[in-house]
Structure 1
Amino acid sequence: MIEKLRQVFPSLVEENPDKSVDPQQYLWFSTNDNKVIGILEEETNEKDKILLESFLTPYNFHQPPVTSREEQWIKVLFHNDSSIDLSNDQSLHYRFVYFSLSDDMMDPTSFTEAIHGLFPSRVPIIWENSHEGVIIEEYKYSGDELVSYHDIIDVLMSDFYMKVHIYIGPYINNIALAQKYYNWVKQCYHKVIRYDKRAVIHYVQAVPYLILEPLDEQAVSNLIESVFQETLQEEELLQTIQIFLECNSNATLAAKKLFMHRNSLQYRVDKFIEKTGIDVKQFEGALSVYLTLLLKNKY
């Protein structure tokens, strides 16, 4: 049925973690087998709507009113509008925090207000559908204290009596890459949640799960870039980190293998941690970085 409908309405989309659309521009329906589909409203007329509602159930998703900042992000993420200038300040970094609610009957407005009350300042929140969306953290690297998502989860689950899952993406500072990285974060969440049911998953923790499945060239590139960030072109630094990890994080042994002073090696390790935010002295960070290094060397 869906394919026949698509022949009449080419804009028809299904809920799909690999593709993002602006939900405000679509009419949404639920099929008899509980699949949610959307058709661009501008592609329909009143007769079409009456006909569609005769055999499909209208799927009402009431997105909270969007702020001007959220409207800018919607244009960037869903319409790839490169004319939007989100920041004149080069020190502004942002990251996408994708969330999913167990209750699709949750009032988005109440949830949005609760989130705003837990952050020191208002953050853009964009809804994909009635139970999924993204929090966009915008921070300057000036000592801003980040919120604890574990604390946020505890508050939300206590207040709303439902499960909330959160996937925290990496910080980036290039607006031109926003749509690509948003789709990547969304895809990662839907892949990882099949293996890891923790309420809060950081992108570094996700690496081992992401490589369990075949990755195309773009996915490999996204993974490598998200882990190594600005150290990606520093081959000497990455080689040092690889040897450090292969020596079971034994700085003395790694320094001997590299014919360098132990303090110099420690400086490089600390430099990597500072630039990427990944602590390779801890198991999860070490595992994810080492697996990504192997992936990078392969490609």
Structure 2
Amino acid sequence: MSYIDQLKQTYTSLFVYDSSKGRPSGEYYLFRINNEEVVGIAAEELNEREYNLLSTFLQPVQHHEIALTQKDLQWKAFIDGKSESLRLLKTPYKIRFVLFTVSDPSLEPDTFREALQAFFPFEMPLIWLNETKGLLIEEFVDVAQEPVSLDSVVEVLMSDFYTKIDFYVSEDIEDLSHAPRHYTWAERCFSLAKKYQLGQVVSFNDVIPYVFVHSLPPEDLYALNRLMLAGVEEDRDLLRTIKVFLESGSNASLAAKLLFMHRNSLQYRVDKFVEKTGVDIKQFEQGLVVYLLLLHSNL
């Protein structure tokens, strides 16, 4: 008699999960057996004591974890620090992490997984972290393999699934032994990208300035704002103008074009900022500090 048959004698509602049949109705708990099959048991058949007992020799599984393959599970254990090594059939020479969120928690994980995987040359490890957040590990096994452009991917997926999707793309990681550390860094960067609403496809380069300003203690931020933005803190139109001016490399003509204003009007605002604050933003060091403070203001 198999292990599953033995459990069925005690829990008559037990079933073996089959992704092709979709999710069964009703409340149920899921457990993974020998890292392979996933079984479900109706919640009404398990009290808290029995659930805790089963959890000691079976692995509890959340609904978003059902579709994890053996490769997914191996990567998850590795980046979570629960395994010291990876035993892959073909080890990539480099990887990059692609974290993503979807706004619709009712999105079917298997369907989204299939749609996302279609953009890659072969199946990549994809780990759902919760109902709305996941991690795809883009593996590079051939030097001729090109990274997938997520800008085109996000447009197609949002059109197909009618849900808001955000991606964060990490730096390339060539030493896989450092992958767990890079993953922690990627999680932090993605969190900042979401906090400051940096866009639907964000890379580590986009986040780096925010890492610096976000790391400052609140008292330091207060002191810098008081010193560098004195007299203009409430003038958000002026501050937005200065932000675009600095993002344009202090090129007044380019900034004026981006802001749809005359160059002389923009120059007037820059002069007004310098006069009121005493900060010469055309000097690199002073302009850099002001720019970081404006990033934190999330204008």
Report the Cα distance in structure 1 between the residues aligned to 2:213 and 2:164, rounded to whole angstroms: 26
Q: Deviations over 1:59-103 (max 9, x none)?
A: 9633342222212101201243114334775x6101101101111
* Equivalent in the alignment of 1:103: 104
Which runs of no fewer than 5 residues in structure 1 stay unpaired? Answer: 1-23, 27-44, 52-58, 217-247, 249-286, 292-299
**TM-score (ref. length: structure 2):** 0.51
**TM-score (ref. length: structure 1):** 0.51
* Larger RCO (alpha carbons 8 Å, 6+ apart): 1
Structure number with greater Rg is 2
Compared with structure 1, are the counterparts of its residues 50 and 124 closer, same or farther at alpha carbon in structure 2 (3 Å cutoff)? closer
1:85 maps to amino acid: R
1:150 maps to amino acid: D
* Equivalent in the alignment of 1:206: 207
Compared with structure 1, are the counterparts of its residues 134 and 210 closer, same or farther at alpha carbon in structure 2 (3 Å cutoff)? same
Report the Cα distance in structure 1 between the residues aligned to 2:170 and 2:47, rounded to whole angstroms: 41
* Equivalent in the alignment of 1:61: 63
2:114 maps to amino acid: E
Compared with structure 1, are the counterparts of its residues 147 and 139 closer, same or farther at alpha carbon in structure 2 (3 Å cutoff)? same
| Contact persistence 2:95–2:173 (CA under 8 A) | yes
* Secondary structure, aligned partner of 1:73: helix
Q: Deviations over 1:14-66 (max 9, x none)?
A: xxxxxxxxxx889xxxxxxxxxxxxxxxxxx8334789xxxxxxx96333422
* Equivalent in the alignment of 2:158: 157
Q: Deviations over 1:223-242 (max 9, x none)?
A: xxxxxxxxxxxxxxxxxxxx
| Contact persistence 2:192–2:207 (CA under 8 A) | no
Are residues 1:121 and 2:122 paired? yes
| Contact persistence 1:64–1:109 (CA under 8 A) | no
Query: Counterparts of 1:150-229 in structure 2 under 5 Å?
Result: 150-214=151-215
Which runs of no fewer than 5 residues in structure 2 stay unpaired? Answer: 1-29, 33-45, 53-60, 218-248, 250-287, 293-299
2:105 maps to amino acid: D
Report the Cα distance in structure 2 between the residues aligned to 1:150 and 1:105, rounded to whole angstroms: 24
* Equivalent in the alignment of 1:4: none
| Contact persistence 2:94–2:176 (CA under 8 A) | no
Q: Deviations over 1:190-233 (max 9, x none)?
A: 122211341000111111111111169xxxxxxxxxxxxxxxxx
* Secondary structure, aligned partner of 1:193: helix
Report the Cα distance in structure 2 between the residues aligned to 1:76 and 1:215, rounded to whole angstroms: 31
| Contact persistence 2:125–2:136 (CA under 8 A) | yes
* Secondary structure, aligned partner of 2:80: helix
| Contact persistence 2:100–2:167 (CA under 8 A) | yes
* Equivalent in the alignment of 1:36: none
| Contact persistence 2:171–2:204 (CA under 8 A) | yes
Report the Cα distance in structure 2 between the residues aligned to 1:174 and 1:73, rounded to whole angstroms: 15
| Contact persistence 1:93–1:141 (CA under 8 A) | no
Name the % identity. 29
Query: Counterparts of 1:1-299 in structure 2 under 5 Å?
Result: 46-48=47-49, 61-86=63-88, 92-140=93-141, 142-214=143-215
Report the Cα distance in structure 2 between the residues aligned to 1:145 and 1:192, rounded to whole angstroms: 25
| Contact persistence 1:94–1:137 (CA under 8 A) | yes
Supply the RMSD in Å over aligned alpha carbons: 3.1
Report the Cα distance in structure 2 between the residues aligned to 1:79 and 1:46, rounded to whole angstroms: 31
Report the Cα distance in structure 1 between the residues aligned to 2:186 and 2:144, rounded to whole angstroms: 25
* Equivalent in the alignment of 2:20: none
| Contact persistence 1:127–1:133 (CA under 8 A) | yes
| Contact persistence 1:98–1:167 (CA under 8 A) | yes
